[in-house]
């Protein structure tokens, strides 16, 4: 039954793949005059027919008897097949026509075989129809993106829609959740694509080296800093130095452990079976492990963001900057890094001059615009390695990584110059000036973050005693 399908698929894989690709190529306009501008795929394939080897591998994989009891691995390969077709410009209706042509050709080859009795042949035909129908549905599902959700339920310009995030703001939780889930899906498809495109060389970059890995090491710890029940006792040794304590809230730790299993065990095994050219049954077993690990990470990411949504406090709602709640933990990490590397960093505190008077004369709405304006100026003058916080209602704090007092003073002067050049916030008349007083404190080796914050506050106080718009650097 399915064995008959497998024998035909293995013996006629080139013919079946050519039939599928020819129909897809004709439908996509790839047959005939060449387009003026080539449309290469991720692997440099510029025609539908060039993906015939990948289609052949997909066909053999789908028909393999080892996948009869558990077709999960074969079904998982529909997503990279959909990606290949989309890159070649094949529309959904044309995908359906290509599947129809494949079904007809495979059926004809089955009927021409001399092995097996008539009822076995009929059973194989029934299995063929079910396999390809399920595969077509899976390819279409993988091709059609989910509808975009709008915060207001209407167009983005409606009053209920969420305002656009400035590039310097901390990302919203739901935006960050969606981004990481999307990156995980991309990485999963890339691993599965390596199975189909093995003739072009497998791409098995570790998940820890991907954009998701960067997020896990650098951004995710900032989301969980200072929250209850965090514990780094079981952090994987390779991640513990990169992730400041407390490491996670259980959820982040589980993500790291599953990623460690995927990168350390499963992906090397997949690379081995592909390099050896093992049977599709062996490949299927490893693919199921890849799919299971990424599904587990996806579930763990959702659990992490569900927990964070209950206690969201890392972002200031007015400016979108990081809030003071996470500042001690970030400072603690920087202190540990500086002591270990024997390097330095500086803290810059900036207080808005006369903000209280602005509120009294113009109202809190304009004051919030001023704060947002200042946050934009700050974000434009610092590097991606620096951190900007809403420190107090009328003050900001900037952590300047690896800058000494002199360098930090130059950054402070740049901010003052940019503020003088920047357009005034809408609604603010010429009778009111936006000014900043600043205090700089370089790291002096003391291990307590509160000590450094106090030194920066003392420098700010010293600057303000000499009038608004002044800068003082702590000795």
Q: What is the DSSP letter of 226?
A: T
Q: Among residues 453, 469, 472, 452, which one has the least CA distance to residue 461?
A: 472
Q: What does the pLDDT read at residue 225?
A: 61
CA atoms 41, 44, 47, 51: torsion sign: negative
Q: Are 62 and 135 in contact (CB under 8 A)?
A: yes
Q: What does the pLDDT read at residue 74?
A: 62
Q: Which two tokens stand for residue 475?
A: 């000795």
Q: What does the pLDDT read at residue 404?
A: 93
Q: What does the pLDDT read at residue 249?
A: 57
Q: What does the pLDDT read at residue 75?
A: 66
Cis geometry, peptide bond prior to residue 474 (ω within 30 degrees of 0): no
| The two domains 2-143 and 322-473 share their CATH topology (first three levels equal) | no
- Residue that has been written with the tokens 């396999």 in this structure: 131
Domain spans, the chain = 2-143, 173-310, 322-473
Using left for φ > 0, alpha for ψ between -120 and 50, and beta otherwise, residue 187 falls in: alpha
Distances (CA, A) of 172 to 316, 319, 322: 11, 12, 11
H or E element in which residue 352 lies: strand 345-353
285: number of Cβ within 10 Å: 17
3-state secondary structure of 356: helix
pTM above 0.75, yes or no: no
Q: Are 244 and 253 in contact (CB under 8 A)?
A: no
Q: What does the pLDDT read at residue 405?
A: 92
Q: How many whole angstroms from its chain centre is CA 9?
A: 38
The alpha-helical segments, DSSP class H, found in 46-155 are 52-63, 72-76, 78-87, 92-112, 118-143
User: Rounded to an integer, what distance in angstroms lies between the CA atom of residue 58 and that of residue 35?
Assistant: 28
Q: What does the pLDDT read at residue 173?
A: 73
CA-atom Rg of the chain in angstroms:
29
Q: Among residues 259, 267, 252, which one has the least CA distance to residue 238?
A: 259
User: Rounded to an integer, what distance in angstroms lies between the CA atom of residue 203 and that of residue 452?
Assistant: 46
Q: How many whole angstroms from its chain centre is CA 28?
A: 31
Distances (CA, A) of 48 to 31, 68, 141, 142, 307: 9, 29, 20, 18, 45
User: Rounded to an integer, what distance in angstroms lies between the CA atom of residue 204 and that of residue 193?
Assistant: 10
Q: What is the DSSP letter of 218?
A: I
127: number of Cβ within 10 Å: 17
Using left for φ > 0, alpha for ψ between -120 and 50, and beta otherwise, residue 256 falls in: alpha
Q: Among residues 233, 410, 411, 398, which one has the least CA distance to residue 331?
A: 398
Q: What is the DSSP letter of 67?
A: G
Q: Give residues with Cβ within 8 angstroms of 312, minimum separation 6.
A: 173
332 burial level (CB within 10 Å; 0-12, 13-18, 19+): middle
Distances (CA, A) of 248 to 214, 216, 251, 284, 331: 16, 11, 7, 33, 17
User: What superfamily in CATH does domain 322-473 come from?
Assistant: Reverse transcriptase/Diguanylate cyclase domain (3.30.70.270)
Q: Are 316 and 323 in contact (CB under 8 A)?
A: yes
Tally: H helices and E strands in the chain: 18, 6
Q: Which two tokens stand for residue 224?
A: 């969980």
The one-digit pLDDT tens for each residue of the chain (475 residues) are 447 777 888 888 888 888 888 887 765 554 443 333 333 333 333 445 567 888 887 887 777 776 655 556 666 777 777 777 777 777 777 788 888 888 888 888 888 875 555 666 677 777 777 778 777 777 776 665 544 333 333 333 333 333 444 443 445 677 888 889 989 988 888 888 777 765 444 557 899 988 899 888 877 877 766 444 333 333 333 333 333 334 345 788 889 999 999 999 999 998 888 888 787 778 888 888 998 999 999 999 988 888 777 655 667 878 878 888 888 888 988 999 899 889 999 999 999 887 777 777 777 777 788 888 888 888 888 887 888 999 988 899 999 999 999 999 999 988 888 887 766 666 665 555 667 899 999 999 999 999 999 999 999 999 988 888 889 999 7
Architecture of domain 2-143: Orthogonal Bundle (1.10)
Using left for φ > 0, alpha for ψ between -120 and 50, and beta otherwise, residue 346 falls in: beta
């Amino acid at each position: 039954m399915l064995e008959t399908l497998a024998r035909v698929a293995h013996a006629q894989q080139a013919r079946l793949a050519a039939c599928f690709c020819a129909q897809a190529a004709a439908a996509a306009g790839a047959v005939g005059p060449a387009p003026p501008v080539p449309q290469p795929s991720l692997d440099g394939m510029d025609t539908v027919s060039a993906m015939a080897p990948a289609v052949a591998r997909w066909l053999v994989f789908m028909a393999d008897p080892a996948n009869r009891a558990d077709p999960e691995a074969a079904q998982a390969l529909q997503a990279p097949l959909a990606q290949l077709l989309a890159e070649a410009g094949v529309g959904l209706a044309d995908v359906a026509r290509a599947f129809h042509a494949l079904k007809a050709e495979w059926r004809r080859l089955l009927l021409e075989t001399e092995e097996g009795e008539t009822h076995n042949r009929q059973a194989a035909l029934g299995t063929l129809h079910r396999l390809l129908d399920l595969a077509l549905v899976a390819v279409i599902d993988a091709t059609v993106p989910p509808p975009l959700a709008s915060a207001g339920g209407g167009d983005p310009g409606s009053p209920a829609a969420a305002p656009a995030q400035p590039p310097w703001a901390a990302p919203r939780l739901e935006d960050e959740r969606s981004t990481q889930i999307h990156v995980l899906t991309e990485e999963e498809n890339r691993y599965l694509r390596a199975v189909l495109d093995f003739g072009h060389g497998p791409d098995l970059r570790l998940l820890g080296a991907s954009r998701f890995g960067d997020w896990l090491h650098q951004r995710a710890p900032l989301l969980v800093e200072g929250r209850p029940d965090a514990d780094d006792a079981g952090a994987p040794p390779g991640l513990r130095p990169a992730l400041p304590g407390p490491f996670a809230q259980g959820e982040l730790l589980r993500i790291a452990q599953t990623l460690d299993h995927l990168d350390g065990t499963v992906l090397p095994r997949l690379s081995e079976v592909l390099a050896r050219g093992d049977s599709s049954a062996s490949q299927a077993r490893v693919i199921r492990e890849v799919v299971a690990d990424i599904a587990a990470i996806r579930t763990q990411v959702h659990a992490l963001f569900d927990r964070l949504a209950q206690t969201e406090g890392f972002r200031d709602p007015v400016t979108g900057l990081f809030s003071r709640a996470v500042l001690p933990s970030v400072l603690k990490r920087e202190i540990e890094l500086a002591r270990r590397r024997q390097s330095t960093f500086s803290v810059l505190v900036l207080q808005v001059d006369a903000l209280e008077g602005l509120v009294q004369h113009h109202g809190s709405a304009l004051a919030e615009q001023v704060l947002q304006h200042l946050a934009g100026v700050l974000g434009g003058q610092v590097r991606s390695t620096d951190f900007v916080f809403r420190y107090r209602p009328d003050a900001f704090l900037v952590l300047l990584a690896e800058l000494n007092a002199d360098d930090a003073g130059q950054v402070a002067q740049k901010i003052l110059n940019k503020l003088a050049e920047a357009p005034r916030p809408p609604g603010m008349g010429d009778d009111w000036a936006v000014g900043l007083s600043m205090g700089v404190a370089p790291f002096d080796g003391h291990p307590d973050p509160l000590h450094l914050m106090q030194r920066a506050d003392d420098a700010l106080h010293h600057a303000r005693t000499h009038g608004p718009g002044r800068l003082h650097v702590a000795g």
